[in-house]
Amino acid sequence: MTKLYLISTGPGDADLIAPRSVKAIGECSDLVAYGLYLDLLGSVCDGKTHHDLPLGEEIGRARLALDLAASGKTTALISSGDIGIYAMATLVFELLDMQLQGKENHPEWLDVDIEVVPGISAMQAGSARIGAMLGHDFCTISLSDLLTPWQTIEKRLHSCGEGDFVVSFYNPRSKKRDWQINTARDILLQYRPANTPVLLGRQLTREDESITITTLDKLDAADVDMFTLVSVGNSETRHIENGDKEWVYTPRGYSKKL
């Protein structure tokens, strides 16, 4: 039985990588990942064959991982954050599905044993760094319209507004996409107050981390890049200050019972 691990390495801090991820990597001979991610992992990657592909080559990376595993090499496909959330895991299953439908010509992929190892996603790291922003019902929306029609994304933004969900935006901006985050802001402003707390978390839990707490009306694409998590509170999210410390949390409503 050949084996493919789909492994999460969390938001950045090595202390937030689950032991299961490190152990699984230890069993592998071949790693498919950005070099950047491997630096976080340290010595467990020593002596293993490292396969990299240019940014944007997601399908190629998933194919390569399946091919390596099918050839008998115990292989890890590695993503930062949670590999199951806007990351590589779904691509591997999409390729398997194509094969099962006869739209690919790689029957050997079907013999690969797959294990997915979850991890801490950026929204969780961001929420924790400033308090408990995800304390009540929330959603995630990717603002990338490369694969999803903008019409679908816009519909979800309105649903998020109507449902008053806390929302975390993944892929808020790239070099080629700069207007989506401002449009998302304008849609949400139809549903919740201008002073709704917003988190801009850049390079969360890494050495060059920066955290900005602002308000929905001041959210602007100029302050966001592809390394930024943007989370917007719901209509009840509170931004509190205690001396020089500040916190953002979304209440579940216990204070009504206090």
Q: Closer to a second copy at the Cβ: 43 or 254?
A: 254
**3-state SS string over 151-192?**
HHHHHHHHHHHHHCCEEEEECCCCCCCCCHHHHHHHHHCCCC
Closest distance between a second copy and the C-beta of residue 181, in Å?
Answer: 15
Buried b (16+ CB within 10 A) or exposed e, 17-45: bbeebbebbeebebbbbbeebbebbeebb
Q: Closer to a second copy at the Cβ: 116 or 223?
A: 116
Closest distance between a second copy and the C-beta of residue 40, in Å?
Answer: 13
Closest distance between a second copy and the C-beta of residue 162, in Å?
Answer: 5
Q: Closer to a second copy at the Cβ: 140 or 196?
A: 140
Closest distance between a second copy and the C-beta of residue 204, in Å?
Answer: 10
* Angstrom distance (rounded) from CA 232 to CA 217: 11
106 with 70: CB under 8 angstroms?
A: yes
